[in-house]
Structure 1
């Protein structure tokens, strides 16, 4: 088996964006609300079963390809704890032309108990571009927040109250940011990222008034009182933030480097591979590749494939240990080191 190139899988969403995403992926957007592409996705959007899953160039679902050969694709004949198409990750390109709403995601125990799913939604961002005055992200509360006061602010849609209590982080290309489940967060206008997360679409939207969504779409059908139990109301301190953010390595000769803090490893792994005209090796395993710059060749005993800027590829486990040569820069995303327990009821 060799890797496959995937066509664009752009998602219409409730916030504006998508121009840089379209430029990278080589398509002409027909809406101002196409800010996300889901890459090698085998899951669908919450509440939208016909949206999210990736397709091949012939229109068939990538998930059907994985289901037909989970051993070849995932290295396990049973797939993952969520089934034969469970890759362990959901990867996106996210290109925001407006500030995203303040929102939060459930952790695995909450998801298992209330949403009947083994995965929560810890996520992380690798910043590709940050070119607007509001090129920042907001991550965690700067001080402890009273749950009743937060509930009042959410009910009143008091954006100023929420943003004033969140840590604002100015970002630049190359930054990696881990967002633990339960941590309130938002992405600012002008920020373009590769996002990796656990393979669900579970979001509790605290600030729906800045989007085209409404209150009824904000709480996953749980009702706001229960949904707000997801939120971590404790402060994310400066010391904690330092552990959640990585800055780019200035060494121009680096060929392979992790892009996220080590606390991300249980959930997912993301690295940048830069060949600098040489050859760089990579270990076997299912992965999603985004070719950011240049051109090169992926090779293993199974075969080879030429790649170029703007392509997205799914690499099967059966490709084995592989290498990339040429003059190319690639982001590689893989599942984490800890697999959740399947939910059986």
Structure 2
């Protein structure tokens, strides 16, 4: 039986809107001064994470998924279902939208569309997100886009550290400048850009927009999706269930001391967003963790204990 967590080596992505906070705040060795994304837990073909400990050291997460399905409660499906990122938005991200599973399969030949959610790790005092729009029909939406009436079209909301935002497929959205989020999402890399502020890359080219596809998949009119957190405690661990929906269930954990027994419902995706400590399986096998670590507690670990002072974002596929 595999009785320890799978610690993973992140994959980093250079982005036109990225910066250096992934190094400054998390200590990662980033490849460029415009590193926008840390793919902490990924089996996606565009950047699979590598196991860095134990018997499976050196294997990528997609390989582990294919060869050791017993570590994932025997879950069916050709592809690992979730992807966990940390994003550093030095400048505004493009206004964008993602398709649902059906559209992704039919049009893009991909297994998953993209429903996602964000935990705001840090942001400035006046930080904003684009979340939704004000158009009532597809015709009105298309007209406002064609006429560049962005201030009228886009709906902006203010945010603060610790906020949680659920972004189902079809939601028009954009992360604002100065914001760092942890994103839990379906394992998809499909993005349709609606607006990119007329930015140009180093070669002087504007990035491609996807207006027709965006209008096809966008939620029009926009509808909010709000979830009230469900709070619980186990010993010195405070748990806030942030969302439970069709694809994933996501929690914020805050540990200040010791928790003697955590039950594992299937397999857990864990990202340490602050602090450090130790995780123990069966009272014997221990692993230390620190801020910036990403690991999976496999389904072969039925229960475990933890000690330390730390905060985590934890998720699993919704059963």
In 2: Cα distance, 1:108 partner to 1:286 partner: 23
| Unaligned 5+ runs, structure 1 | 45-50, 338-345
Q: CA deviation at 1:29?
A: 3.4
Q: Distance in 2 between matches of 1:295 and 1:216?
A: 40
1:153 offset after TM fit, Å? 4.9
Give the structure-1-normalised TM-score: 0.78
Which consecutive unaligned segments of at least 5 residues does structure 2 have? none
Structure 1 partner of 2:161: 173
Give the corresponding residue for 2:280: 299
Q: Which SS does the other structure have where 2:70 is aligned? A: helix
Contact 1:257 1:273 (C-alpha < 8 Å) held by counterparts: yes
Structure 1 pair 132–53 and aligned structure 2 pair: CA distance change class (3 A): farther
Q: 2: CA distance between counterparts of 1:169 and 1:207?
A: 18
Is it true that 1:272 corresponds to 2:259 in the alignment?
no
CA displacement 1:142-172 (0-9 Å, x = unmatched): 341x42443355456x3xx234322211111
1:343 aligns with none
Change (3 A) 1:288 1:98: same
Q: How does 1:46-65 map to 2 (within 5 A)?
A: 51-57=46-52, 60-65=59-64
Aligned to 1:342: none
Deviations 1:103-140 (A, max 9, x none): 0011123223323444221111000001264x111111
Q: Does the 8 Å CA contact 1:177/1:246 hold for their aligned counterparts? A: no
Evaluate the alpha carbon distance shift between residue 65 and residue 118 of structure 1 in structure 2; reply closer, same or farther with a 3 A threshold: closer
Whether 1:142 aligns to 2:134 is yes
Whole-angstrom distance in 2 between the partners of 1:226 and 1:8:
31
Flag the 1:292–1:280 CA change in 2: closer, same or farther, 3 A. Answer: farther
How many residues are matched? 305
2:281 and 2:305 in contact (8 A); partners too: yes
Residues 1:40 and 2:41 are matched in the alignment = yes
Deviation at 1:60, TM superposition (A): 4.4
Cα RMSD between the aligned structures? 2.8
**1:106 counterpart SS class:** coil
Larger % of helix: which?
1
Kept after mapping to 2: 8 A contact 1:182/1:232: yes
Q: Report the CA distance shift for 1:189/1:211 in structure 2 as closer, same or farther (over 3 A).
A: farther
Q: CA deviation at 1:67?
A: 1.8
2:81 alignment partner, SS class: coil
In structure 2, the partner of 1:203 is 191
SS of structure 1 residue aligned to 2:187: coil
Which of 114, 125, 130 is matched with 2:123 structurally? 130
Residue 283 (structure 1) shift: 2.8
Where 2:166 maps in the other structure, the secondary structure is strand
- Secondary structure at the counterpart of residue 33 of structure 2: coil
- How far does the alpha carbon of each residue in 1:208-229 deviate from its partner, in whole angstroms, 9 at most, with x for none? 333649778444xxxx434521
Match of residue 255 from structure 1: 238
Is the contact between residue 283 and residue 320 of structure 1 (CA under 8 Å) also seen in structure 2? yes
- Give TM-score, length-normalised by structure 2: 0.84
Q: Residue 155 and residue 174 in structure 1: after superposition, are their counterparts in 2 closer, same or farther (change >3 A)? A: same
Q: CA deviation at 1:22?
A: 1.7
Distance 1:30 1:115, change over 3 A: closer
